[in-house]
Amino acid sequence: MKDNKEVILSRKPIDFKTRFKKSLISPWVYLMLGFLTVLSFYNPYLWIFTTVLALTFIVMNYNAMQQYLMKIELDDNDLKISYLNIKNVEKSIQIPVNELTVDYYGNGIGFSSLASNHMRIEHNGQTKLKQYQTIGWTLVDLKETTRELKEIKRQIAAY
């Protein structure tokens, strides 16, 4: 039997701790938090606002880094997608290409844009995987992978 596997995407694994630490490095967030901290000396209520803002930033990044897409293979008419979970255990899912929905989302404004740029992979309307912009995944990578997966689905549907 012939093996019809085609590797569409392959990434070097990056563990959760490294992804999370790198996601917290955002100079403009630190500038904003520093500015609010200085202003909070004049208005004590700004301490509360600054603390909530910092905690929100940390929680958003923690949630965004829980999955790391490593490999996508096309096996006949199925996509086999491998990813690392939060415990750095490799998991994989298999989705028939004709039941695949993939979209890129990147419309965050201001603070929410830090954890909003992502690619969502769905199967029958259920989100199976979200890959956020992080170390190893740039905005261009997310957009190109989304475009490529949509093109594969279009070609298989036309065939």
Residue 36 lies in a domain: no
- The string of pLDDT tens digits covering residues 107-141 is 655 555 556 688 999 999 899 999 988 888 888 99
Token pair in block for residue 152 = 């594969």
- List Cα–Cα distances, 89 to 62, 100, 132, in angstroms: 17, 24, 18
| Rounded Cα–Cα distance for residues 61 and 123 (Å) | 25
Q: Does residue 92 fall inside a structural domain? A: yes
Please list the ranges in the chain whose pLDDT falls under 50. Answer: 1-2
Q: Which amino acid is at 30?
A: Y
- Alpha-carbon Rg for the chain in angstroms: 19
The pLDDT value recorded for residue 110 is 56
Distance, in Å, from the CA atom of 116 to the CA atom of 121, rounded to the nearest integer, reads 15
Question: For residue 78, is it within any domain?
Answer: yes
Tally the domains of the chain.
Answer: 1
For residues 146 and 130, is the Cβ–Cβ distance under 8 A?
no
Residue 40 maps to a domain:
no
Place of tokens 């563990």: 15
Secondary structure of residue 39 in the 3-state scheme: helix
User: What is the rounded distance in angstroms from the CA atom of residue 39 to the CA atom of residue 27?
Assistant: 18
* Residue 112 lies in domain: 5-19+62-158
Q: What is the pTM of this model?
A: 0.80
Looking at the domain assignment, is residue 30 inside a domain?
no
Q: Which pLDDT belongs to residue 97?
A: 92
Residue 55 in domain: no
Asked if the structure places residue 143 within a domain, the reply is yes
The tokens describing 38, both together, are 């200085």
Mean per-residue pLDDT over the chain, rounded: 85
* Domain of residue 140, CATH code: 2.30.29
